Structure 1
Amino acid sequence: MNCTLAPSCRSLSSGTRRWLTRAPMGRLSSEPFWLSEAARARMVVVSGTLSGRPLSSIWIMRMGPIVSKHGDGATFFAAPALLWCRRPKGRGVGMGTAEWGHMSGAQGVVDSLRRAGIPRVFGLPSVENSLLFDAVRRSAIELVLPSREAAAAAMADAHARLTGEVGVCVLSAGPGLLSGLEGLAQARRDSVPLLALVASGPSGGGAFAEPFPEAIAAARHLCKEAIRIESAEEVPLHLSRALRLCREGEPGPVLAEIPREVQLERARLEGTGFRPGPRVLDGGAEAGLKQALSLIEASPRVGLYAGAGAIEAAEEVAELAQRLAAPVATTISGLGLLPFSHPWAVGFGPGPAGSPVAEAAFRDRSLLLAVGCRFSAPATGFGSFRPTSPIVHIDAAPRPLGPDCPPVLSIAAPARLALRYLLDRLAQRDDPQLLQLILQQKRELRRALDERPERDEAVDPIRFFRMLREALAGEDVLVLDCGQHAFYALAAFPAMAPRRWLMPVDFRSAGFAVPAAVAAKLALPENRVVACVGDAGFAVSGFELLTARRCNISPVVVVFADEHLGLVRTAQDGIFGRESCVDLVPVDYEKAAQALGVAYVRARRDAELPGALQRALTLEAPVLLELRVDYRQSPRFLTAALRSEWQRLPRPLMLRLGARMLLRRLLGRR
């Protein structure tokens, strides 16, 4: 195959030029993506503008898949083992790009994170990612070393929930990534922007080759996208894209795989910046919002239902509530979007699983305006909340709500822009009676919490969270693990600020609270951070108190000790009338605290709570606070959720289980 060489090839020797004109195009690349089929059939040397993006003055790299996906008036020419690429003379760096300098791929990764404003990364070193860790150690980015990779993912998750920015964890391909899959799944289900940097071994094999490639294949299904970086030059471009994808549309995790040879490779890097692009309402969103505007104007009683996707629009939500005289209930992830002290805030809800204030305020709503939420099972009390009024659903990626739901108008749009569109066109309304009802319900809720009888044999979880709310400021952070204690917090710990209530909601993985508290304290060192965890959750995450010591921070970890899998036990008893495999081995938490080198405080009854809580919150050290709790009275959420689950059982099974449960109660069996 012969062709004519581009003019920029004239500096080559005559022998090289003769070889180039006869080199088969297939040797150039297994993916020459910038060429059409006709061009691949005719040419070896190609000159043209490629995506309007610049290249370094001269690149030399190994033959293989072409990894540079950008160029500007560049000329390519092939050789048996090398590929040269030269920018034409007189061309400067393209618009929006800048020369970063000559560095390794690992250094480019860290420099990309620094330029994106990432303050810290979480992870454990391994053979595959040692180059990345060495580059982080030499940079201004803080490196946090947890006890296990699952904790690294949980810390990155918590950092993202707390700050609204992307959380970054570093994992190795193989056991490290498998351990971190739990965190990736949780971030995906809870819409958390998380970037997982996965360092894989040499792609060509060898002593440190990737030990388990199936791990990356599994992670791809849990992430919005998985990106493999094939050369050092690609690092800025792909990390910029990965960070954008984490927050674009519905937030979620993105995986960036960085092979060891890419970490080692040195090149002159150019970056394009990490600022997100402007967000606008498209034509479909505007058409949907016009329909929504008509529905709202025709509905005399509107209720606002907001999730984590509306936190960025907290000011607009508050203004819209005032404009429409509408109560604002939130999902669990959206708690604190409006402080509970706000006149129109009614807390978690609506429905029987939510706050009694929300249930009363939403009882007669003629339209539900849902913003930034998904109507997931936990958000609706596992089906106990069944809306009957029409729904306008605004979300970055709205999902179908099911055939049993009332009419739904779904609008794919950013919350802030959509609400601003409505605010610019809606007239002021007033409803003093509803405002008085909300105020009265809040007073009754407070009175009911204050009048709970004191227990002598154990600590009442409701009383604990009531006291904790009084002791903490609105900007302090509460972190909850998956467990029964979290639903008592829903009943007695109203959120007073956005992003200060952290809890795994849709995936509900145990072991989140302790590592999340470490990340929260690192992000907000001046705020008090309290993590609440059950016996089982502490068993899988308690060693992260060593990470707190290593980082010289002082979170308070509260263990709700009842020596059972409390949530599972309550569910079994409520549905089947018996318990099975829920007993745990007792733990001496005082000795555990001593072994971990942290302070220890204990409360065994309600009377000991005030002193124990005050001491735990004032110690300048990591604290393990043990509560001997009694879960005899189920919170509203669990009562409503179990009732809903019971009602979904087939009628013959419901009757059989009911008769068996009654018999066991009469015989005094568990």
Structure 2
Amino acid sequence: MDPQNGQVNTAELLIQCLENEGVRYIFGLPGEENLQVLAALESSSIQFITTRHEQGAAFMADVYGRLTGRAGVCLSTLGPGATNLMTGVADANLDGAPLVAITGQVGTDRMHIESHQYLDLVAMFGPVTKWSSQIVRPSITPELVRRAFKRAETEKPGAVHIDLPENIAAMPVTGKPLKRDTKEKTYASYHSVNEAAAVISRATNPLILVGNGAIRGHASEALTEFATQLNIPVANTFMGKGVIPYTHPLALWTVGLQQRDYISCGFDRTDLVIAVGYDLIEYSPKRWNPDGSIPIVHIGSSPAEVDSSYIPVLEVVGDIPDALTEILRRADRQGKPDPYAIGLRADIRADYEQYSQDDSFPLRPQKLIYDLRQVMGPEDIAISDVGAHKMWMARHYHCDRPNTCIISNGFAAMGIAIPGAIAAKLIYPDRKVVAVTGDGGFMMNCQELETALRVGTPFVTLIFNDGGYGLIEWKQQNQFKRSAFVHFSNPDFVKFAESMGLKGYRVEAASDLIPMLKDALAQEVPAVIDIPVDYRENLLFSQKSGDLHCAM
């Protein structure tokens, strides 16, 4: 090809388009059908991160997109490489993280017959993405890439898929990337803002429920001011942590457990829920509004989803910070916060603090997370995997800032923590990053610790070690009073870490964790801390939840 005359092959034009989109990293694996793309990357400003499994690559792109708001990019070959990619792609799509997945494919001359490793990837990725397409002619590459990124990053963000046949990748083409659009904000109507202000002013015991959409919309400052000036308590979803600082006197911390908790009493008492950036996929409204009787004001960048338990009396659709600011200007609410809500916060905080001096061993999950919070700064990042520990992270790991505790609660895929921590450390090399995982989730993508070492992303992995799939056992015990098929044995995690050139630690007393964690975070290589955990607390919490009575 002759780049000086503007002629390149399709793969080279694709990489030019990705550079134009501001892509810094592509996570993936090499394959026979993506050789042209890999060759083009050799002279690119984009860094290719070779991973050990396509699922890890997709999770890295997923968390990269969620933390930056710019689409993370992952690459696989066809067939089994593409199917391996799908779990992480689906996770990004349901969690609202912008992601562009690129797959290699057989040549177009082989698609009409049964062919080695050939699957219709456009059709396969369709149900787990916002959009899935194939580059069928070299000349359409700039349009297709621009559309992919626009679709991925437009609210509500999600995953898109581009399929590139190997013969198309090698074809000559003359073209250039399309200019990126300037995103224009859309603003809520004056009518909806005025009506919302009136409804909120009339409410006696309003409650704010804030979700991940408020983080995506950069609404933290506006939301905190809104709640403070109007004296309205705030509960956040798993994915809305840090929108309001957990130390704020009106913060009621996290809602979303599949069982009743203190915050459930707040929903029982409220006469208005102000849902701000709330995604129904995070926490079904049937859990907090089962009969649809609680009036709801929906404030979001897109209209409310349809649900029989989520029928707003009013929708304020547009830029979230602007909507909150304009409603605040018009609201006439002079009352103090409900004394019951203030008492509720005191109960929640007392429950949290009671584990600060707990010295039992194996560690209770509450104590483990309490100690983790003491070591992590306000800007540091914890990435939670999925399992019983996720429930405790959601309930007990509290945040000062948005995007400092990443929890997947849309698709909720196990194995995300270690790949996600790699992405977080690439974006924020000066922050402490901790991957919090169970022993089940750890073994699903622990191979990516080699990737972390190779690319120079030192973070700490905390393993909640109970020798089983703790969340499933918790549910089995609740439903059947017994468990089945959930137990397994583990390797020696310290030796495992050391065999990879990492630092390995094992907690043998409750007092070990904080000094070990500080030491591990100071290392120049990734570190793994094996922590025996006492999950009897799961059933004790369920019992306490079942006995919870709200004093009205």
Partner of 1:198: 103
Structure 1 distance, partners of 2:499, 2:183, is 50
1:520 match: secondary structure: helix
Structure 2 distance, partners of 1:362, 1:636, is 23
Q: Does 1:321 align with 2:232?
A: no
Which structure has more helix as a fraction of its residues?
A: 2
Which stretch shifts more, 523-532 or 309-318?
309-318
What are the equivalent positions in structure 2 for 1:503-652 lying under 5 Å apart?
503-634=407-538
CA contact (8 A) 1:383 1:641 kept: no
What are the equivalent positions in structure 2 for 1:406-417 lying under 5 Å apart?
408-417=313-322
1:393 match: secondary structure: strand
**1:505 positional shift:** 0.9
Structure 2 distance, partners of 1:212, 1:639, is 51
In structure 1, runs of 5+ residues without a counterpart are 1-98, 645-670
- Tell me: CA distance 1:101–1:614, structure 2 relative to 1, closer, same or farther (3 Å): same
Partner of 2:34: 129
| Count, aligned residues | 540
- Deviation digits for residues 77-110 of structure 1, max 9, x if unmatched? xxxxxxxxxxxxxxxxxxxxxx994332212222
**Larger RCO (alpha carbons 8 Å, 6+ apart):** 2
Q: Which of 234, 243, 255 is residue 149 of structure 2 equivalent to?
A: 243
Q: Does 1:139 align with 2:41?
A: no
Partner of 1:166: 71
- Percent of counterpart pairs with the same letter? 26
1:254 match: secondary structure: strand
**1:614 positional shift:** 2.5
**1:547 positional shift:** 0.2
**TM-score, structure 2 normalization:** 0.90
Q: Which of 277, 282, 305 is residue 372 of structure 1 equivalent to?
A: 277
**1:494 positional shift:** 0.7
Q: Does 1:185 align with 2:90?
A: yes
**1:359 positional shift:** 4.8
CA contact (8 A) 1:366 1:389 kept: yes
- Deviation digits for residues 536-560 of structure 1, max 9, x if unmatched? 1111111110001110221111111
**TM-score, structure 1 normalization:** 0.75
What are the equivalent positions in structure 2 for 1:31-50 lying under 5 Å apart?
none
**1:526 positional shift:** 0.7
Structure 2 distance, partners of 1:216, 1:640, is 48
**1:491 positional shift:** 2.8
Which stretch shifts more, 589-598 or 544-553?
589-598
- Tell me: CA distance 1:129–1:344, structure 2 relative to 1, closer, same or farther (3 Å): same
CA contact (8 A) 2:465 2:530 kept: yes
Partner of 1:233: 139
Structure 1 distance, partners of 2:456, 2:214, is 34
Partner of 1:257: 163
Structure 2 distance, partners of 1:417, 1:610, is 42
Structure 2 distance, partners of 1:100, 1:415, is 47
**1:227 positional shift:** 2.3
- Deviation digits for residues 610-644 of structure 1, max 9, x if unmatched? 33223222222111110111101128986688999
Structure 2 distance, partners of 1:640, 1:343, is 25
Which stretch shifts more, 112-121 or 523-532?
112-121
1:221 match: secondary structure: helix
Partner of 2:398: 494
**1:124 positional shift:** 0.6
Structure 2 distance, partners of 1:636, 1:414, is 43
Structure 1 distance, partners of 2:179, 2:408, is 32
Q: Which of 201, 207, 217 is residue 297 of structure 1 equivalent to?
A: 201
**1:232 positional shift:** 2.8
Structure 2 distance, partners of 1:171, 1:409, is 44
**1:389 positional shift:** 2.3
- Tell me: CA distance 1:176–1:445, structure 2 relative to 1, closer, same or farther (3 Å): same
Partner of 1:8: none
- Tell me: CA distance 1:364–1:227, structure 2 relative to 1, closer, same or farther (3 Å): same
Partner of 1:334: 240
1:582 match: secondary structure: coil
Cα RMSD of the aligned pairs, angstroms, is 3.0
Q: Does 1:459 align with 2:367?
A: no
- Tell me: CA distance 1:382–1:473, structure 2 relative to 1, closer, same or farther (3 Å): farther
- Tell me: CA distance 1:102–1:419, structure 2 relative to 1, closer, same or farther (3 Å): farther
In structure 2, runs of 5+ residues without a counterpart are none
**1:302 positional shift:** 2.4
Partner letter of residue 598 of structure 1? L
CA contact (8 A) 2:261 2:545 kept: no
Structure 1 distance, partners of 2:426, 2:244, is 25
Structure 2 distance, partners of 1:119, 1:352, is 38
Structure 2 distance, partners of 1:382, 1:323, is 30
2:141 match: secondary structure: helix
Partner letter of residue 493 of structure 1? Y
Partner letter of residue 47 of structure 2? E
CA contact (8 A) 1:335 1:501 kept: yes
Structure 1 distance, partners of 2:258, 2:40, is 52
